[in-house]
Amino acid sequence: MEYMDIETVKELDDIFKDVEELQKFRCLMMQYECAMLEVKTKLDVLNTELSVQNSRNPIESIKCRIKEPDSIMNKMKRLEVPFTVKNIEKNLNDIAGLRVICSFPDDIYTLVDYLVKQDDIRLIQKKDYIKNPKPNGYRSLHLILEVPIFLTKEKKMMRVEVQFRTIAMDFWASLEHKLKYKKDIENAEVISQDLYFCAELISQLDGRMQQIRRRLEEKKEI
């Protein structure tokens, strides 16, 4: 995770004319960053322990991001909520986001179970787009969590979005994301159908790879 660059800071001066509000915004983003680090550490710890137990890593990689100010602004506009720091915190759950890329679908459910059981975590929302894929074929498991951060003067509960996917689901979502945000694509309908077909293939592939891994584990060959 990178700190805000100079360009972003300049942009912020344009967005917030009120200096006090700008300071509050910076402070809130710092708090989201701390919350993101808390969840990242929890996942790293689970990954380390499970890798010793099972002789393989359930997590391939973790990507972290803090939502950019212009994306925050656009989302607030869509929600038709005035752009204030208080409203940002009240209305948005995905300022701090982690994407956890796993090798196999069953790793996702194992990690989610262990994570939400932790006694300092509050599960706010769970959307299982793996069991119930979106109509376009999108698959991932999304959690909104609340985690405490311990600052110099207070303990504060912060919301974090965590998306879990397999490597194959992530490959699909990256390409589909490009289609969504690219305008004037020829044959967009045909491409969407093709992508849906690929999502089904990917789901079958994930299932079969998992079966092979389980068979190998039974024989203790890995």
The contact set with ligand 0O2 (CB under 6 A) reads 94, 97, 127, 134, 136, 138, 142, 173, 176-177
Of 94 and 206, the one with the shorter C-beta distance to ligand 0O2 is: 94
Q: How far is the CB of 197 from ligand 0O2 (least distance, A)?
A: 15
Active site (annotated) includes residue 154? no
Q: How far is the CB of 156 from ligand 0O2 (least distance, A)?
A: 22
Beta strands 155-166 and 96-102: pairing type?
Answer: parallel
Enclosing H/E stretch for 19: helix 19-54
Neighbours of 47 (CB within 10 A): 19
Q: How far is the CB of 177 from ligand 0O2 (least distance, A)?
A: 4
Question: Under a CB-based contact definition with an 8 Å cutoff, are residues 60 and 103 in contact?
Answer: yes
Question: Under a CB-based contact definition with an 8 Å cutoff, are residues 40 and 165 in contact?
Answer: no
Question: Under a CB-based contact definition with an 8 Å cutoff, are residues 159 and 96 in contact?
Answer: yes
Q: How far is the CB of 81 from ligand 0O2 (least distance, A)?
A: 12
Of 91 and 211, the one with the shorter C-beta distance to ligand 0O2 is: 91
Residues 6 or more apart from 99 whose CB is under 8 A from it? 62, 63, 64, 65, 162, 163, 165, 170
Of 149 and 169, the one with the shorter C-beta distance to ligand 0O2 is: 169
Rounded to the nearest 5 percent, the helix, strand and coil shares of the chain are 55, 20, 25
Of 16 and 138, the one with the shorter C-beta distance to ligand 0O2 is: 138
Beta strands 122-128 and 96-102: pairing type?
Answer: unpaired
Of 77 and 214, the one with the shorter C-beta distance to ligand 0O2 is: 77
Residues 6 or more apart from 201 whose CB is under 8 A from it? none
Q: How far is the CB of 161 from ligand 0O2 (least distance, A)?
A: 7
Q: Which of 33, 38, 161, 176 is catalytic?
A: 161
What is the separation of C-alpha 1 from the centre of its chain, rounded to a whole number of angstroms?
13
Structure tokens at 41: 């550490």
**Catalytic site positions:** 161
